[in-house]
Amino acid sequence: MIEDDLRAAFARHEPLTPPTGPLRAAIDRLATGRRRRRQRWRAGGAALALLGVLGIGVPLLTPEHSGPRTAELLAEPGPTTPPGAVNVLLLGVDGDPPEAARADSVLLVHVPADRSRAYLVSLPRDLGVPIPGYGDDKLNASFAFGAGFRRPDPARGYELTRRTVAELTGVRIDAGAVLTYAAVRTLTDEVGGVPVCLPRQVRSIHTGRLFPAGCQRLGGAASVDLLRQREGLPRGSHDRDQTARIFAAGLVQRVTEGDVLTNPVRLSALLAALGPKLTVAPDRPAVLDLLRLIPTLASADPVGLGLPTIEPTGRDRYLRTDPRLTPEFLTALREDRLGEWVTRHPERVDGAR
Amino acid sequence: MTYEEFADTRLAPLLRYAVMLTGDPHQAQDLVQETMVRVQLNWRRVARADSPERYVRRMLTNQYVDWRRGSWMRRVLLRGEPDEAVPAPADHAQSAVDRDQIWSWLSRLPRRQRATLVLRYYEDLPDAEIADILGCAVGTVRSSISRALATLRAEYVEACS
């Protein structure tokens, strides 16, 4: 009966609804004003580029680069986004500088020349690869080797991982970033939580928290908890890579949909909050230019993929690239035909987003 | 569909929905206004959705549920208490408890719970669609509805005793 009372109460209050005429006029007026403002921002160039930062993740700018580069961008407005496909390398790192020395997730963000959408390709951290100067080892060792052990430098860790990934895949990497868990936590909270749709439930071995299968919106601390989970998942770090892709997709979606991109006040608050947590180097062309791409993507829904791999055989300790699928996949990536590849191999795409 | 066509047919239902969510015509106007400005600015993306209507309803619901986001809450708070001056039309069939009390009890529920009640008992949507709008699992929808109903029932008991 309480249900009936509720229905009746809602129906009785329908007459509270104001007329739509004045509201519609107000909406049009405000939208026109904001559109104008947005165009001014776009002309500003640098500002919009900064917005895009949030779309891709957190590009970590080395202090010696960030100052002059911002000034440069402010001085030369106008669209300078690079033509052609763009690849961005994101490394998810456990711990905070200066201890950060393990890259738990390696994610290559590919934006095709037609700007239809972003592809998130994760490279398994246990993949055996030739690391320039260090021989055959696990992919995530490249970060540790590069960063050094006594006083790890994430910028150098990134650089060696970038060379390793570039040689493995044969693609040019235009920019990159190192994300610490602290940066992820701040970013997530600042955008008001990120929606994730999990294909299976995940129990945190760190906090005991249960993340149910299905869609949920997570705050910063919960997101970091989820992103760290690997043990107890059926496919271990493959599943964690998938979680990272799902999270990144949710973040991109959240940022493109929300008003983070259009509200300068929120944006500057966010950048201020993230500022001190960021380190590491962009590649050329300037990472900020690339980030301007985000608002131009036709679809806010990125496609998540794992690099095709096979389990270790014989005495091998590492995952290996799949001799059947990987060459075809990498060719598609290099020739900017990932869309076709995905159509031929729908089973390789993350179902949940 | 153009934005104009969408607004022609959908603005009134959205505004009614917002009234049920917020319980207040001014807040409802602010909420719809903020959402529809964003809809208009991003119309191409909205139009590409399978169901633009549901997409916009999701935007509006998120805006309502998420207290951290958006400036509309701050503006509303500056205005002070919700406007109580507009009386609802009288109803002759009174049950044991004055049924308008249920309307004021609704305002004490957490927003997410109130949203589930509005979606189910005003919009008459199936649970799966409610889950889609709120971005959560169907089970979460059900548990949040039953928690909300339990709270309301407790108010009933208190008011009757």
Question: How far apart are the C-alpha atoms of A122 and B118, rounded to whole Å?
Answer: 41
Least confident of A41-45, A172-176, A277-281: A41-45
Q: How confident is the model at residue B13 (pLDDT cuts 50, 70, 90)?
A: very high
Q: Flag whether A5 is in a domain.
A: no
Interface of A with B (CB under 8 A): 1-3, 5-18, 20, 23-24, 26-28, 30-31, 34-35, 38, 192-193, 195, 212-217, 257-259, 262-263, 299-300
Alpha-carbon Rg for chain B, nearest whole angstrom, is 17
Q: Please answer yes or no on whether B41 and A34 come within 8 Å at the CB atom.
A: yes
- For residues B20 and A120, which has the higher predicted lDDT (pLDDT)? B20
CA distance B147 to A313: 53
Give the list of residues 6+ apart from residue A232 with CB closer than 8 angstroms, or none. A202, A203, A205
pLDDT in tens, A165-191: 999 999 988 777 777 777 788 878 877
Instruction: Mark yes or no for CB contact B152/A215 under 8 Å.
Output: no
Q: pLDDT band for A276, please (50, 70, 90 cuts).
A: very low
Relative to beta strand A175-180, strand A86-94 is parallel
What is the predicted pLDDT for the residue at A97?
53
Task: Give how far Cα A114 sits from Cα of A61, A251, A305, Å.
Answer: 27, 22, 19
How much is the average pLDDT of B26-48? 90
- Shortest distance between the Cα of B88 and any Cα of chain A, in A, equals 6
Is B74 part of a structural domain of the chain? Answer: yes
Q: Are A280 and A177 in contact (CB under 8 A)?
A: yes
Say if A3 falls within a structural domain.
no
pLDDT at A147 over 90: no
Q: Which domain holds residue A278?
A: 39-348
The mean per-residue pLDDT over the stretch A51-61 comes to 37
The region of weakest confidence among A168-177, A249-258, A290-299, A318-327 is A290-299
Summarize pLDDT for B38-96 with one digit per residue, the tens: 899 889 889 988 889 999 999 999 888 875 444 444 444 443 344 444 444 444 444 44
**How far apart are the CA of B26 and the nearest CA of chain A, in angstroms?**
8
Among A10, A195, A216, select the one facing B122 at the smallest CB separation: A10
> Which CA distances in Å does B3 have to A266, B56, B62?
27, 12, 21
Query: Average of pLDDT values for B103-116?
Result: 89
**Residue B86 within a domain:** no
A154 pLDDT tier (thresholds 50, 70, 90): confident
Domain shared by B74 and B117, yes or no: no
A:B CB pairs within 8 Å: 125
Q: What pLDDT does residue A44 have? A: 34
Q: What is the pLDDT of residue B27?
A: 85
Q: Could you tell me how far CA B86 lies from the centroid of its own chain? A: 19
Residue B126 has pLDDT above 90, yes or no: yes
Residue B89's pLDDT is what?
A: 47
The CATH number assigned to the domain holding B142 equals 1.10.10.10
The mean pLDDT value of chain B amounts to 80
Q: Is the pLDDT of residue A328 over 50?
A: yes
Domain-terminating residue out of B30, B45, B80? B80
Judgement on whether residues B62 and B98 belong to the same structural domain of the protein: no
Q: How many CB atoms lie within 10 A of CB A73?
A: 21
Task: Answer whether residue A181 is part of any domain.
Answer: yes
State the average pLDDT over residues A246-268: 68
What is the DSSP track for B94-112? --SS-THHHHHHHTTS-HH
* Cα separation, B149 vs B154, whole angstroms: 9
In the predicted model, is pLDDT for residue A316 greater than 70?
yes
Residue A201 in tokens: 């439930």
Same domain? For B68 and B126 the reply is: no
- Helix (H) / strand (E) element for A105: namely strand A102-111
The whole-angstrom separation of Cα B80 and Cα A225 is 38
Q: Which residues pair with A321 in a beta bridge?
A: A309
Q: For residue range A116-144, what is the model confidence (pLDDT) as tens digits?
A: 888 888 888 888 899 988 888 888 888 88
Query: Average pLDDT, stretch B19-27?
Result: 89
Whether B87 is covered by a domain: the verdict is no
Instruction: Please check the confidence at residue B151 and state whether its pLDDT lies above 80.
Output: yes
Distance CA A306, CA A314 (A): 23
Query: Mean pLDDT across the stretch A250-279?
Result: 61
- Are B20 and A10 an interchain contact pair (Cβ–Cβ within 8 Å)? yes
- What CATH number did the domain enclosing A208 receive? 3.40.630.190
> Using CA atoms, how far apart are residues A274 and B26, in angstroms rounded to an integer?
36
Which of B80, B112, B144 is where one domain is finished? B80
Q: Is the pLDDT score of B141 beyond 70? A: yes
- Interface probe for B, chosen from A12, A14, A16 (most Cβ of B below 10 Å), is A16
Instruction: Using alpha carbons, list the distances in angstroms from residue B2 to A298, B20, B44, B82.
Output: 18, 27, 9, 34
Average pLDDT over residues A92-114: 74
- Cα A204 to Cα A106, A226, B55, distances in angstroms: 21, 7, 32
The answer to whether the Cβ–Cβ distance between B41 and A35 falls below 8 Å is yes
Residue B147 lies in a domain: yes
Asked if B11 and B38 sit in the same domain, the reply is yes
Full domain range(s) for residue B4? 1-80
Residue A210 lies in a domain: yes
Using CA atoms, how far residue A274 sits from A63, A182, A189, A224, in Å, is 13, 9, 11, 16
Measured from the Cβ of residue B139, the count of other Cβ atoms closer than 10 Å reads 13
Q: Which range, A134-138, A258-262, A276-280, B121-125, has the best average confidence (pLDDT)?
A: B121-125
Total tally of structural domains belonging to chain B: 2
Question: Terminal CA-to-CA distance of chain B, rounded, Å?
Answer: 54
| Domain at B15, CATH number | 1.10.1740
Rounded Cα distance, A176 and A132, in Å: 18
Question: In A, which residues are within 8 Å of B102 by CB distance?
Answer: 2, 5-6, 9
Percentage of the residues of chain A whose pLDDT score is greater than 90: 8
Is B97 found in the same domain as B159? yes
Comparing CB atoms, the residue among A23, A213, A259 nearest residue B29 is A23
Q: Do B4 and B54 reside in the same domain of the chain?
A: yes
What pLDDT was estimated at residue B79?
39
Stretch A273-291: mean pLDDT = 46
In a domain, A33, yes or no: no
Residue of B nearest to A216 (CA): B136
Measured in degrees and rounded to the nearest 5, phi and psi for residue A198 equal -90, 135
**Are residue B51 and residue B5 in the same domain, yes or no?**
yes
DSSP A196: E
* Contact (CB<8Å) A6/B59: no
- Residue A20 domain flag: no
* Burial of A86 (C-beta count, 10 Å sphere; 0-12/13-18/19+): buried
Are A246 and A301 in contact, with CB atoms under 8 Å apart?
Answer: no
For residues A141-161, one letter each, b for 16 or more C-beta atoms within 10 angstroms of the residue's C-beta and e for the rest, the string is bbbbbbbeeeebbbebbbbbb
Residue among A14, A15, A192 whose CB faces B69 most closely: A192
Contact between B117 and A6 (Cβ < 8 Å)? yes
This model of the complex carries an ipTM of 0.81
CA–CA distance, A32 with B21 (Å, rounded to integer): 27
A130 touches A169 (CB < 8 A): no
Let me know whether B28 and B97 are in one domain.
no
Cβ–Cβ below 8 Å for B37 and A258: no
Section A52-63 average pLDDT: 36
Q: Is the pLDDT of residue A66 over 70?
A: no
Query: In this structure, what DSSP letter does residue A311 have?
Result: -
Closest CA to A177 of A341, A61, A316: A61
Number of domains, chain A: 1
Please report whether residue A288 resides in a domain.
Answer: yes
Given a cut of 50, is residue A204 above it in pLDDT?
yes
The CA–CA distances, whole Å, from A97 to A60, A61, A181, A248, A351 equal 12, 14, 11, 22, 34
Asked whether residue A21 is domain-assigned, the answer is: no
**Torsion angles phi and psi, residue A127, rounded to 5:** -70, 130
